[in-house]
Amino acid sequence: MAIIKANNLIKTYADPDSNGKKFNAVDGVSLSIHTGEIFGILGPNGAGKTTTLEMLEGLKDIDAGSASINSIDISKNPYKVKEFIGVQLQANEYFDNMTLSELLNLFSALYNKKNDSLSLLKKVNLTDKANSYANELSGGQKQRFSIACALVNDPLVLFLDEPTTGLDPQAKRSLWDLIMNLNNLGMTIILTTHNMEEAQNLCDRIAIMDYGKIIAEDTPRELISKHAPERQKEVVSGNMEDVFMALTGHGLRD
């Protein structure tokens, strides 16, 4: 059963390189994301990944097309949708004079929820930092805390925008474990990433975007079978990075 449905989503902006002209940052994206799956969206910088997420989250207006989460129309009821989604952004700012426990209590109050801050911190393995301030955390700890903040309303759907960017291998693997644990509890997770290994290991299905469009969508295994069945020399078949290069013709950060 699909918990997220998007049909022909379009987001238009003024073209900075052409006076008076416009372009579609998201150009006819359709998605059907199943309840309980981890769904990945890959693409080079500027492909439209984050904009697509922001429209699904109700953070950006949908210029054309339609989308719903849990059968709620996002354009018509954006505040209703926010009641059962959690959002972890690429960057977050917190009050410097509040501890992690105090921040979680504040966010819970904003959702009119009664949460045990220590229980939320335990989910992300940060109970020992309950009385610390956000600016005292390492990069990996900040990412895990941002996910704790996204969990205050016990969401059905969790959005993660490049959650492991800039993390060292240990912190990255720790965050992977957290994502899989949340998914095993029944949470639907949508993530964008530049990390091919991350996509291949975590995602049940993947959509690859380029120039605002979805150019391929399937399981990692099927994408590799279709688009990178052979790889030179060291292994008999390719991986998700080979799929991406075969489909787009350029690197993730081009």
Segment 113-152, tens digit of pLDDT: 888 999 999 988 899 999 999 889 888 888 889 999 999 9
**DSSP state, residue 148:** H
The confidence band for 231, taking pLDDT boundaries of 50, 70 and 90, is: low
Tokens of 245: 């290069």
The confidence band for 227, taking pLDDT boundaries of 50, 70 and 90, is: confident
- Name 13's bridge partners: 23
Residue pair 65/6 in contact by the 8 Å Cβ criterion:
yes
> So what's the pLDDT on residue 117?
92
> So what's the pLDDT on residue 254?
45
> So what's the pLDDT on residue 90?
67
Judge: domain 2-84+155-248, CATH 3.40.50.300. yes
Instruction: Kindly provide the b/e burial profile for residues 67-89, where b requires at least 16 CB atoms within 10 angstroms of the residue's own CB.
Output: bbbbebebeeeeeebbeebbbbb
pTM (2 d.p.): 0.86
Q: Where are the domains of the chain?
A: 2-84+155-248
> So what's the pLDDT on residue 128?
94
- pLDDT > 60? residue 53: yes
